[in-house]
Amino acid sequence: MSNPRTSILKLRRRTFLAGAAASLVLAGRSFADAPVRGGTVVALAHPGEPNVLTSAVVQTGQVQSVSSKIFDGLITFGDNFEIKPELATKWTTSEDGKELRFDLRPGVRWHDGTPFTSADVKFTFESVWMKIHPRARATFAAVDVVETPDPLTVVFKLRNPSGVILGALNGLESTILPKHLYENTDIQTNPYNIKPVGTGPFRFKEWVRGDRIVLERNPDYWDAGKPYLDQVIYRVIPDATARYAAFESGAVQYGTLTPISLSDLGLAQKSDTLDVDFHGYEWLASAIVADFNVRRPPFNDVRVRRAVAHAIDLKAFVRVTTRGLAKPGTSPVLSTQTKFYAGEGLPEYTFDRAVADQLLDEAGYPKKPDGTRFATTIDWLPFGETFQRFAEFARQAFKAVGIEATIRNQDLPQFFRRVYSENDFDFTISHRAGLGDPQIGIDRVIWSKAILKDIPWSNGSGYSSPEMDKLIEAAHVAPNEDKRVELYKQIQVLAQRDIPTFTLAENKQFTVSSKKLRGLGTGSISVYDSLKDAWLEA
């Protein structure tokens, strides 16, 4: 028989421990919430294996996913696009809005030990952003010169106030490269593009093509004590079924940009071991888009482009290809970008095959005896089987109005070369990111000055309109933010009227992670979380 006094003492001890644990939970912290140092996270290289590892050179999602762990930016985003310091500790704007001054964080070093200074920012602005970046000409249109009064101060001198520059200086959109490794080289073929040297929480260790990319903890990271993880390893798993199986078994703990097929999404949401998160994609503003090659027939005729828009049932498109997860497109600017979205003033392309037939007849493409009008080719962005489904849906829509379309398959370098170097295509189905502001996300595809040979995500359609250029350039020098917003509403109305590019769907992407992976970012750009706060629960 147990001793009553002993039983009471045991009960009191249990009560004390339970109360202490409850107090910690009420304080917003439990024993399990203390970050654990060490461990390796296996992440999914998706969609597909990158071709380089720095987003200063290529801005695709699979590159940015890795690059964001290696490189910091001057600023980053918290929740609701709150701008937070990173390599810059402070910034000030002059009273007239024509000077933006950054104080840089002291003691930051590149991964090879070289100090990070203002000279790196100035060099990257002049030699990288303004020469090979698809968006920088629009983003930094107001910048007259970048000055470096001392190693820890960068000053952007502006011709006119600009509402877009500060928000563009995150580590993805405006990746800073080490001057000492890139100066007097060909930026796009520099060997450090595939063995990058950054300032971020993880250093590049190795890349085994077709298998893995290994990043290791940066022991000299400026944010003392971080990162917690020892390694992040990116695995290449092309097959969708195998990807979900890897998450389910615990072989992979982290994946962004819709890493599993939509048919497996429901299973992941019900899983006891996995988390599914739709947040952190606000800055990305993901869209599925169709781009026409307006340089040559048949899509040099706006009537043909409009006919195609009327021939595609966008409600059915999102229902069939995304299981209703996406939203039908209405504008180059997404409806979620409420500040700039033009809304009811936009030209509409309702699903109407009769209107499509009429427009094609008017354009000089009547139906032949076999029911066809002309043949064309659809090139789809090789970001996995989902984009192939998008292309197949478009092919069926084309066929219903007499357009015979062939779907062409290729790898990513071939796609980029075909569209942005050789301009040898008719119609593409691709992805576009809004990136928080239409001056960053939209100008690059409709401004004639963004027709850039060999630069992915620039104006691949070849669209050039003096009226559009005038509006865009007026927005770049708008005297205030209200005027800039008004001009971008006019810009998207004109873009929707001329339709060189057509938004098929406002995409809704998600992240899948192991419940044991803690400390993931929650901000507006956390799809590209640096993982500096991430840790693995034992």
Residue 426 maps to which CATH number? Answer: 3.10.105.10
Pick the last residue of a domain from 181, 212, 239: 181
Pick the last residue of a domain from 162, 181, 200: 181
- Pairwise CA distance, residues 529 & 68, whole Å: 7
What's the pLDDT score for residue 8?
32
239 & 320 share domain: no
Helix or strand or coil: residue 114? coil
pLDDT band at 129 (very low <50, low <70, confident <90, very high): very high
- In whole angstroms, what separates CA 308 from the centre of its chain? 27
Contact 217, 199 (CB under 8 A): no
- Pairwise CA distance, residues 175 & 198, whole Å: 9
| Residue 40 placed within a domain | no
| Residue 384 placed within a domain | yes
Alpha carbon separation from 298 to 302, 308, 354, 360, 394 (Å, rounded): 9, 11, 19, 10, 16
CB atoms within 10 A of CB 75: 20
For 52-90, write each residue's pLDDT tens digit. Answer: 999 999 999 999 999 999 999 999 999 988 999 999 999
Whether the predicted pLDDT of 95 surpasses 60: yes
294 & 339 share domain: yes
Q: Flag whether the pTM goes above 0.85.
A: yes
528 & 493 share domain: no
245 & 154 share domain: no
- Pairwise CA distance, residues 46 & 235, whole Å: 9
Helix or strand or coil: residue 191? helix
264 & 353 share domain: no
444 & 483 share domain: yes
Query: What does the longest C-alpha to C-alpha distance in the chain come to?
Result: 100
368 & 483 share domain: yes
CA angle 440, 474, 337 (to 5 degrees): 40
240 & 166 share domain: no
| Residue 191 placed within a domain | no
Share of the chain above pLDDT 90, in %: 89
* Residue 31 DSSP code: G
- Pairwise CA distance, residues 417 & 412, whole Å: 9
What's the pLDDT score for residue 6?
37
What's the pLDDT score for residue 33?
76
* Residue 80 DSSP code: G
| Residue 211 placed within a domain | no
Q: Lowest-confidence range among 24-38, 381-395, 431-445, 487-501?
A: 24-38
| Residue 101 placed within a domain | yes
What's the pLDDT score for residue 221?
98
| CATH number of residue 97's parent domain | 3.90.76.10
Tokens linked to 134: 């698809």
* Residue 418 DSSP code: I
Sheet holding 286-292, edge to edge: 327-328, 501-506, 286-292, 427-433, 374-380, 403-408
pLDDT band at 25 (very low <50, low <70, confident <90, very high): very low
- Pairwise CA distance, residues 305 & 462, whole Å: 14
| CATH number of residue 514's parent domain | 3.40.190.10
Q: Which is more confident, 341 or 15?
A: 341
HSE-CB at 163 with a 13 A cutoff on CA atoms is 18
Q: CB-based contacts of 183: which residues, under 8 Å, 6+ apart?
A: 123, 127
CB atoms within 10 A of CB 350: 10
Pick the last residue of a domain from 152, 181, 210: 181
250 & 339 share domain: no
What's the pLDDT score for residue 118?
98
What's the pLDDT score for residue 47?
84
356 & 448 share domain: yes
Whether the predicted pLDDT of 94 surpasses 80: yes
Tokens 């001009």 appear where?
Answer: 487
User: What is the secondary structure of 130-155 as a DSSP string?
Assistant: HHH-SSHHHHTTTEEEEEEEETTEEE
| Residue 38 placed within a domain | no
176 & 311 share domain: no
Helix or strand or coil: residue 170? strand
Tokens 């595609």 appear where?
Answer: 312
Contact 199, 222 (CB under 8 A): yes
439 & 492 share domain: yes
pLDDT band at 384 (very low <50, low <70, confident <90, very high): confident
| Residue 316 placed within a domain | yes
Q: Which is more confident, 72 or 3?
A: 72
**387 lies in which domain range?**
283-507
Contact 188, 133 (CB under 8 A): no
What's the pLDDT score for residue 287?
96
SS3 of the chain: helix, strand, coil, percent, to 5 = 35, 20, 45
Q: Report CA torsion sign: 381, 383, 389, 390.
A: negative
Query: Peptide bond preceding 347: is omega within 30 degrees of 0, i.e. cis?
Result: no
| Residue 249 placed within a domain | yes
What is the count of structural domains for the chain?
3
Mean pLDDT, range 437-465, rounded to an integer:
95
What's the pLDDT score for residue 444?
95
- Say how many residues make up the chain: 538
What's the pLDDT score for residue 48?
84
